[in-house]
Amino acid sequence: MINLSLVGIGMGNPDHLTAQAVGALQSADLILIPEKGDDKSDLADLRLVICEKLLSPIPKIARFRLPVRDPKESSYLKRVTDWHAQIAILWRNEIFKHCPNGGRIALMIWGDPSLYDSSIRIANRLIAQEQQVSINVVPGLTSVQLLTAAHKIPLNTLAEPVMIMTGRNLRDKGWPNTVKSAVVMLDGDCSFDQLDGRDFTIWWGAFLGMPEQILASGPLHQCCEDIKKLRANARAQHGWIMDSYLLRKNQI
């Protein structure tokens, strides 16, 4: 039997892991660490740092290269679902190569496995292929929590709801008319740039909770260009960036 633990690790700071997360990693027979190419090697290295700082002894580790999404596929949803299918096969091959007789496997997931992450969906594909696989989900700190903590603000206004959306949603559908506050994630195109900045306040952050943390906030029309420059410079420096932001519509 294979027991696969999907372990939330926040933004990669060892201090972000819960005791439950450390326990799941420590008890694993195998920790799988995916690699996304040389320009994003820091992502795999951060996972190794977590193991070195928190685990003793360190379980067996296997690094593997993730496939890339097919740029020729025009449908975003099909491109992603095909990619997930490839990853599920890769997970299966790596697991049974290193643990042919079963065991406890752990994968470290940025933030929390439930929030704009596909690891649970991929794991369910794996279960469909191999009935002797079960999954365990260990929650982690999300960028939403780290963002509001860094800016020292509440997530919602008094008695009001909050929407969580992607940059793609904001670009394609615009600002939801009935929403006052929204957290925007996975926005590589700075989609806030399409809004009338005079109507919004923004709280933006990258590498949240890490030594490289960058923050910016204020009326959107005043700091829009500054945030775009900060983001571009940070991405050029590190080769990758993880950022998110909270937008709040100003009271009229």
Q: Per residue of the chain (252 residues), what is the pLDDT tens digit?
A: 999 999 999 999 999 999 999 999 999 999 999 987 666 567 788 999 999 999 999 999 999 998 888 888 889 889 999 999 999 999 999 999 999 999 999 999 999 999 999 999 999 998 887 778 899 999 999 999 999 999 999 999 999 999 999 999 999 999 998 899 999 999 999 999 999 999 999 999 999 999 999 999 999 999 999 999 999 999 999 888 999 999 999 976
Q: Packing angle between helix 76-98 and helix 119-129, nearest 10 degrees?
A: 60
2-138 domain in CATH 3.40.50.300?
A: no
Residue ranges of the domains in the chain?
A: 2-138, 143-249
3-state secondary structure of 245: strand
Q: Which helix (H) or strand (E) holds 85?
A: helix 76-98
Right CATH for 143-249 from 3.40.30.10, 3.40.1280.10, 3.30.360.10, 3.30.950.10: 3.30.950.10
What residues have CB less than 8 Å from 94, skipping those under 6 apart?
32, 62, 64
> Model pTM?
0.91
Establish whether the linkage from the previous residue to 71 is cis, with ω within 30° of 0: no
